[in-house]
Chain A
Amino acid sequence: MTALASRSARSTPGDTRRRLVVIGNGMAGARAVEEILARGGAVQHRITMFGDEPYGNYNRIMLSHVLSGEEDTGNIFLNSLAWYRENDITLHSGVRVERIDRFAKLVFSDDGRATPYDVLIIATGSRSHLPPMDGMYTPGGRLLPGIFAFRTIDDTTGMVSYAQQDHHHRAVVIGGGLLGLEAARGLQSHGIDVEVVHSGGHLMNAQMGPDGGAVLRRSVEALGIRVRTGSRTTAILGGGKVRGVQLRNEPDIECDMVVVAAGIRPNVEVAVTSGLPVERAIVVDDHMRVPDEDEIYAVGECVQHRGEVYGLVAPLWEQAAVLADHVTGADPSSVYLGSRTATKLKVAGVDVASMGLQAPERDTDEHVVFSEPSRGVFKSIVIRDSKIVGATLLGDSRKVAYLTQAFDRGLPLPEERVSLLFDLGGPGEEAGVAELDGDAQVCNCNGVSKQAIADTVKGGCTTLSGVMDATRAGKGCGSCKLLVRQVVEWAADGAVEEDPAAAYYVPGVPLEKVALMTAIREQGLRSVSAVFAALAPDGAEDAKSKMGLASLLKMMWAGEYIDERDARFVNDRVHANIQRDGTFSVVPQMKGGVTSPEQLRRIADVADKYNIPMVKLTGGQRIDLLGVPKEDLPKVWADLDMPSGYAYGKSFRTVKTCVGQDFCRFGTGDSTKLGIEIESRFQGIESPAKLKLAVSGCPRNCAESLVKDVGVVAVDGGRWEIYVGGAAGAHIRQGDLLATVDDPETVKLLAGRFMQYYRERANWLERTYSFVPRVGIEHLRAVIVDDAEGIAARLDEAMQRSVDSYADPWAERNDPLTHGQFRTSLPLEVLPKVPVR
Chain B
Amino acid sequence: MILKNIFLQGIFPFDGAGLEKAVPIHSQLSHFVPDGVINQTLYFRGGNSSPELITVVLMRDGVPMRYFPIAAKGDVHVPLRVVEDIDGGSLIELRLLADTGVSGSVVIDMGMVEH
For this complex, 13 residue pairs linking A to B, each with C-beta atoms less than 8 Å apart, are: A199-B35, A200-B35, A206-B1, A230-B36, A232-B35, A263-B38, A268-B82, A279-B81, A279-B82, A280-B42, A307-B3, A309-B1, A341-B1
Closest to A356 in B: B2
Verify if B64 is at the interface (C-beta below 8 Å from A): no
Verify if B87 is at the interface (C-beta below 8 Å from A): yes
Verify if B49 is at the interface (C-beta below 8 Å from A): no
Complex CA distance for A272 and B83, rounded to whole angstroms: 12
Verify if B107 is at the interface (C-beta below 8 Å from A): no
Number of interface residues of B (CB under 8 A): 19
Complex CA distance for A9 and B3, rounded to whole angstroms: 48
Verify if B9 is at the interface (C-beta below 8 Å from A): no
Q: A312 — which chain B residues lie within 8 A by C-beta?
A: 1
A206 and B2 contacting across the interface, CB-CB below 8 Å = yes
Closest to B36 in A: A200
Q: Which of A280, A310, A341 contacts B113 (CB 8 A)?
A: A280
Q: B85 — which chain A residues lie within 8 A by C-beta?
A: 129, 131
Known contacts A272-B82, A279-B81, A280-B40; A230 and B1 CB within 8 A of each other: no
Verify if B89 is at the interface (C-beta below 8 Å from A): yes
Verify if A517 is at the interface (C-beta below 8 Å from B): no
Nearest CB of chain A from residue B65's CB, rounded to whole Å: 15
Verify if B66 is at the interface (C-beta below 8 Å from A): no
A131 and B35 contacting across the interface, CB-CB below 8 Å = no
Q: Is the interface of B mostly helix, strand, loop or mixed?
A: loop
Contact with A along B19-54 (1 / 0, CB 8 A): 000000000000000111110101000000000000
Q: Which of B3, B36, B82, B88 contacts A308 (CB 8 A)?
A: B3
Complex CA distance for A307 and B111, rounded to whole angstroms: 12
B82 and A206 contacting across the interface, CB-CB below 8 Å = no
Nearest CB of chain B from residue A283's CB, rounded to whole Å: 9
Q: Which of B36, B82, B113 contacts A205 (CB 8 A)?
A: B36
Complex CA distance for A205 and B34, rounded to whole angstroms: 11
B40 and A200 contacting across the interface, CB-CB below 8 Å = no
Q: Which of A131, A268, A310 contacts B1 (CB 8 A)?
A: A310
Interface residues of B in 70-93 (CB under 8 A from A): 79, 81-82, 85, 87-89
Q: Which of B2, B34, B36, B42 contacts A279 (CB 8 A)?
A: B42
B36 and A201 contacting across the interface, CB-CB below 8 Å = yes
Verify if A672 is at the interface (C-beta below 8 Å from B): no
Q: How large is the interface on A (under 10, 10 to 19, 20 to 34, 35 or more residues)?
A: 20 to 34
Q: Which of B1, B35, B81, B82 contacts A201 (CB 8 A)?
A: B35
Q: A200 — which chain B residues lie within 8 A by C-beta?
A: 35-37, 88
A358 and B2 contacting across the interface, CB-CB below 8 Å = yes
Q: Which of B2, B35, B36, B82 has the most CB of A within 10 A?
A: B36
B36 and A198 contacting across the interface, CB-CB below 8 Å = yes
Nearest CB of chain A from residue B84's CB, rounded to whole Å: 10
Q: A278 — which chain B residues lie within 8 A by C-beta?
A: 81-82
Q: A205 — which chain B residues lie within 8 A by C-beta?
A: 36-37
Q: A279 — which chain B residues lie within 8 A by C-beta?
A: 42, 79, 81-82
Known contacts A278-B81, A279-B81; A230 and B35 CB within 8 A of each other: yes
Known contacts A201-B36, A232-B35; A206 and B115 CB within 8 A of each other: yes
Closest to B2 in A: A206
Complex CA distance for A272 and B40, rounded to whole angstroms: 17
Q: List 6 A-B pairs, minimum CB-CB distance, nearest first.
A: A200-B36, A199-B36, A311-B1, A205-B36, A199-B35, A279-B81
Q: B79 — which chain A residues lie within 8 A by C-beta?
A: 279
Complex CA distance for A207 and B115, rounded to whole angstroms: 10
Q: B35 — which chain A residues lie within 8 A by C-beta?
A: 199-201, 230, 232
Complex CA distance for A341 and B115, rounded to whole angstroms: 14
Nearest CB of chain B from residue A95's CB, rounded to whole Å: 24
Q: A263 — which chain B residues lie within 8 A by C-beta?
A: 38
Nearest CB of chain A from residue B7's CB, rounded to whole Å: 13
Nearest CB of chain A from residue B4's CB, rounded to whole Å: 10
Q: A198 — which chain B residues lie within 8 A by C-beta?
A: 36
Complex CA distance for A543 and B8, rounded to whole angstroms: 63
Contact with B along A308-326 (1 / 0, CB 8 A): 1111100000000000000
Nearest CB of chain A from residue B99's CB, rounded to whole Å: 34
Nearest CB of chain A from residue B18's CB, rounded to whole Å: 34
